[in-house]
Amino acid sequence: MPQIVYDDFAKIDIRVGVVVKAEASPKALKPAYKMWIDFGDLGVKTSSAQITTRYKPGDLVGRSVLAIVNLPPAQVADFVSEVLVLGAVVNVADVVLVGPDTDVAPGARIW
């Protein structure tokens, strides 16, 4: 990856959100979950995430995650994904979600 300058990084709006609902996305091409995530003052946003190897939908509810909230929405099968949830790739089919290690208010910005 090429190096970027701070101004490039500052354009990325990464926020803390809390998953309020998660369910399977059977129409997605690859196994995925539909998630609804509360970002405080930004409201509840949707995301499609290919995290089915490690997580079950019920285990995601109440979990704090980090997401990029200023990307354009993307159509994923029958669902509009508004934010990109961040995770560490263990391998192509296994992603570990990234989140704060203590309670942080939904909507808090990451720097």
Confidence (pTM): 0.94
Per-residue model confidence as pLDDT tens digits over 20-78: 999 999 999 999 999 999 999 999 999 999 999 999 999 999 999 999 999 999 999 99
Burial of 36 by CB count in 10 Å (0-12 exposed, 13-18 middle, 19+ buried)? middle
Q: State the pLDDT confidence band at 107, using cuts at 50, 70 and 90.
A: very high
What is the pLDDT at residue 93?
81
Residue that is written with structure tokens 């203590």 in the block: 102
Q: How many whole angstroms separate alpha carbon 89 and alpha carbon 56?
A: 17
- Would you say domain 6-97 falls under CATH 2.10.109.10? no
